[in-house]
Each structure stands twice: as C-alpha cells, then as structure tokens.
Amino acid sequence: MLVRLFQSVIASLFLLHFTPANAELSIEIIGAGENQVPVAIAPFGGDHKLALAIKDVVVNDLLRSGLFRMIDTEGISSLELTEVKYPDWQARGAEALAIGSVTVQPNGRIEARFHLLDVVKQTELAGQAVSASEGQVRAVGHRISDLIYEKLTGDKGVFSTRIAYVNREGKHYRLVVADSDGYNEQTVLSQNQPIMSPAWSPDGSHLAYVSFETGHAVIYIQSLYTNQRKLLAGFSGTNSAPAWAPNGKQLAIVLTRDGSSQLYLIRPDGSDARRITFSGEIDTEPNFSPDGQYLLFLSDRGGSPQIYRMPAKGGPAERMTFGEGANFSPRYSPDGKGFVFNHRVAGKFYIAMQDFQTGQMEMLTEGGWEKKPSFAPNGKLIMFASEARERGILATVSSDGRVKQRMFTQSGDAREPVWGP
Amino acid sequence: MKKLLVAIFLVNFLAACASEKPVEPVAEAPAPAPAVEESAPAPAPAPMVEVDPLDDPNSILAKRSTYYPFDVSVVQDADKPMVQAHAKYLSEHPNRSVRLEGNCDERGSNEYNLGLGNRRANGVKQMLLLGGARASQIETVSYGEEKPRCTDHNEACWEQNRRTDIKY
C-alpha cells in the first residue's frame, strides 16, 4: 500500500509530455527509476541537421527508460575528446557525458562517431562508430542509445528492437511493425477483416498472425523482407494463437478441428500438425520457455481461465495461477525465471508478473483495460495494450513497476502489441 | 381487406421485433398504423400462398440469435425453443444450411474469447444435431470479441455481444 502511494506520488511529480516534431505519435512517461543516472549529451558535431535529429532520438530514448536524468547542455557547442573539461561537467552534476559527430558519406550513408565518458572517473567508457543507410537517422540514434544504456546499466538496450501490433479503425485492420518507440511505422497487412495475435519469429524475419480474411480464423506466416506470405494452418474451424519455438523450427498453435480449442505443434512449412493437449476444454495462448522445454498456456479446465505449464513435447500440465480472478496471456520472462500475464479481478484487467520459485504474483499496473503483455528482449520492460481517452493505445511498464509510458498513435485503436527481437 | 391485412401484418411484425431482447438499431419509432375500423376482427389469417417459414417474421424462426450470461456457453432455456425450431426446419429442409457465428464480450483475452465463441457455436450445433439437422448442414465459426455489435464498456453492450448468430 505504501509502495502504491509512493508510486502515485512519483507519478504526479514526473509526468512528462513529449510532443516530437514529427507528431504522428505522442508519448507520456510516468514515474522514474530508483536511481537515475545524470547524463549529459553534448551537441554532436558535423552535419548540423543530422546531429540535432540524432541527439533528439538519444535523449528521448534515455528519458523513456526512466533510468536517466538529462543534464542541461545549454551554451555548449560540439566537443572533441581533447576538449572535454571534466571538472566543468562535474560542476553541472553529470556522471556521464556523450560527445560525437555525424557525417554523410558520398554514397549517402550516415556515419556517427561517439564517445561515452565517465565524468567522475574521467575515463572513456566506450567509443564507437555507428553507420546506417541514408534516411535511417533514427536507427543511428537508437544504436547510440543502446550503447549508452548498456554501459551505464549493465543490461542490453532495446531501443533498436521492433514491435508489432494491430491498428483497428472502424472495421479496418492493419498489421503494423514499428520501432520500439512507436516511430517508423510500416504496414504489413491491411484489410477489412480482423487480424489477431502477431508473433515474431525468433530471428525477427517473419511474423505469424491470425487473419479472418477467409471468413474464419486462419494462420499466415509473412516475411518482413519480401512481404511474401504462406498459409501455416487453415484447418476447418479456428486456427489461432501462433507461438514460435526459440529455435524457429516449430510453432505451437491452437486448432478446433477436433472440437474444442486445443494445442498443437506444427512446422513453419505447415507440415506435421500434432495435437499435444487433450483436455476437451479451452486450451490456448501457448508460449515457449526460453530454453524451448516448456509451454505456458491458458486453460479453463479447472473451471476458470488460469495459467498452466506443460512439457513442450506434450505431457501432464501443472496449474501455475490460483486464487481470486482469472488469468490470461502468459509470457515467459527472457531469463525464464517468471512470467508476465493478464490478471482479471473485480472487472478490471491488470498486468501482473509471477516468479516460478516463490509463486508470488505482483501487479505491475493500477488496472483498467490492460491486455496482452510481452517482454522486451532484455526483460526490463513490458509492453501491453491499454486504453486512454477512449482509445486503444500501447503502453509499457518497467519490470519493477516503477516507470510507465503511454504511446498514442495517430488514429484508431492499437491492439495486440508484441515486442520483437 | 388487403390494406387491413397489411396493417395487421405490419403491427405483428413490429411487435415481433420489439419482443426480441437486444434491439438491433431499428430505423425509427413505428409510425402509428393507419386507423383500422375498431370492429375489425383480427384473426391472424393463414398465409394465402405457401411461404417458407424462414421468411415469416411471425415465426419463431425469425429469431436467429442465442444469448448468454458472462463466460457461459450453454444454450439458455429461453433460447431452446428457438434453436429446436431451427433444428426441425433444417431436418425438414435438407437443402438448407446454416453458419453459426459465436461471439463474446471483451472481458477476456482475444484468444480465450475465440475459444469461448467456438464453444458457444458448438453448443448450438449440438442442439441442432439432436433436433434432427445433419452435420453437413452446419458450419461453425468463432469471431471471439473481434466483431462486437456494440463497443461500449458496459453490460448493456456486453450482453448484446455474447451471442451465437444462426445465419442461413
């Protein structure tokens, strides 16, 4: 209770609004990490326009994580390594300083060089060149953010990763892939029938998803490089809930061809569909453990929707969630030590997490219309579908529940988000 | 006489609509039926030509949706006579077929609701089969929560979305 109260106090203190120049998206951040590292990002040298754009991306990335505080760089121009005066930066309160420059190669490639400096120890933490093809200025910024994040927190950054979600506007559905900050939207599929349950292949090259374009739910796999797709499962009845095995050689899916919703394994080419649950009740939303040995899934075999675990090859299932309410949409944490899921109690949906060892459930959100959680690859953030201002939006919460972020897309409802590699 | 019949027909039709539980957005409030002589007898006359009872708005077959409490998939007692009437019709008209579309309210995960909608449609299918319909006449599909009739977050809306539609 005290923690809750504390969190809401923090929330009111740290409510920041971003209205990026490119206003297709707006982002709100609520809360802050326990210890925010004070970081200064000096203006980059070289191509002035690109330098400003890159710094903007880096600053916003780091702020969104909730783990950093930005030190004012007012009045500072771009710096070379030899020009850095550490005592000045110490006086400004910075513990880390990033400097750099950006140039455009004759072939149009963007090349940024940057250094990350420890202001307290007066040493260089990292120095690196990052390049990307023409127009990929955000990608360059995200790579720099990842390197800064990694050096200063010890965890891998996720600013260069991508997300997939479904945008619904009236009866129009779009399957969308975007950068993890919601920018750089690309429409993968657009149609007037529902699209559900996008699932990234482990290498990020393909999406499996459920489409109703044939009049009932079938599963497609689509390449994000060629846009070509093929039917994975179009059996009679419902074909849904695709989940990739970590080695990419198998998917768990849900079919009703034998009556109720049951789990099956199938190869990515659509061959060898093999049934692995026999409850006769609703078994759905499978998710592989990071080592590929187990599946978490949802079943109402015990009378209400709850989370179960079973060997991925098939075998006896063990109930994981108990107590009041119903539970949906389980997903393993990347370290395999717990899982995040959707908890419904007293008419509200919460994003919750449970540790395998303790069996303790922890609510990460205040509850509302919050659905479909999925972990960032580094396990530090969870993305989910939420609702605000009567619209479906994307939101994230840090795995300690402290930092929350809401992303408003241009129009329509954002649904079914899933964090990719 | 013809006018009178039309009027009675219209009144009955509207009454049938009004007695259906959740109201589809009907165009307008019914315009008052043209005045009819008070003494006019009102027996519902048998149709003059043989019409398919499916086309008769007074028939129980005009009702095509079953409704459910939250997270329930068995056909409710109130809807059983209607489903049984469709079973009888299908058994007597082997060339007709139906598509059963299961739907849910939004209070679950999309995937769970897909399963629940499937279960609802299957429940109606079983009742149709028991009543004499053939499996080859019945197709089932679940839309889960993806095709809501009503999109507000309240029970008035949700109860319309928890249903199986029988579509010929």
Lowest mean pLDDT among A223-232, B23-32, B36-45: B23-32
Residue B146 to residue A347, Cβ atoms within 8 A: no
For residue B127, the distance in angstroms to the closest alpha carbon of chain A comes to 15
What is the predicted pLDDT for the residue at A29?
A: 67
Task: Tell me the average pLDDT across B113-125.
Answer: 98
Contacts of A329 in chain B (CB under 8 A): 109, 111
The pLDDT score that the predictor gives to residue A408 is 83
- Collect all residues of chain B within an 8 Å Cβ-Cβ radius of residue A237: 118, 140
Tell me the residue length of chain A. 421
Give dist(CA A301, CA A317) in Å, integer.
Answer: 11
Strands B65-67 and A195-200: unpaired
Look at residues B68, B62, B83 and name the one whose alpha carbon lies nearest to residue B20: B62
Structure confidence by residue, pLDDT tens digits, A275-297:
999 999 999 999 999 999 999 99
pLDDT at A7: 36
What is the C-alpha radius of gyration for chain A, rounded to an integer number of angstroms?
A: 23
User: Is residue B134 within 8 Å of residue B62, measured between CB atoms?
Assistant: no
pLDDT at position B27 is 44
Please give the ipTM for the structure prediction.
0.90
What confidence score (pLDDT) does residue A20 get? 40
Structure tokens at B51: 């019409």
Q: Which of A209, A235, A282, A287 to mutate against chain B (most B CBs within 10 Å)?
A: A282
For A282, name the nearest residue in chain B, comparing CA atoms only.
Answer: B115
A285 touches chain B (CB under 8 A): yes
- Predicted TM-score (pTM) of the model is 0.85
Please calculate the CA angle A97-A99-A100 and round it to the nearest 5 degrees.
160
The whole-number pLDDT of residue B46 equals 57
Residue A41 has pLDDT above 80, yes or no: yes
Residue A316 near residue A308 (C-beta atoms within 8 A): no
* A260 to B119: CB separation less than 8 angstroms, yes or no: yes
Instruction: Tally C-beta pairs within 8 A across A and B.
Output: 81
- Is B99:B167 a contact under the CB 8 Å cutoff? yes
Of B112, B119, B146, the CB nearest to A328: B112
pLDDT at residue A6 in the model: 35
Mean pLDDT, all residues of chain A: 91
Q: What is the mean pLDDT of residues B104-131?
A: 97
A390: phi then psi, degrees, rounded to nearest 5: 60, 30
Pick the residue from chain B with its C-alpha nearest to A255: B115
- Taking contacts as CB-CB distances below 8 angstroms, the residues of chain A near B161 are none
Q: Cβ–Cβ of B141/A238 closer than 8 Å?
A: yes
Pick the residue with more confidence: B30 or A395?
A395
Would an 8 Å CB–CB cutoff place A369 in contact with chain B?
Answer: yes
**What is the per-residue pLDDT across A228-251, written as a single tens digit (0 to 9) for each?**
999 999 999 999 999 999 999 999
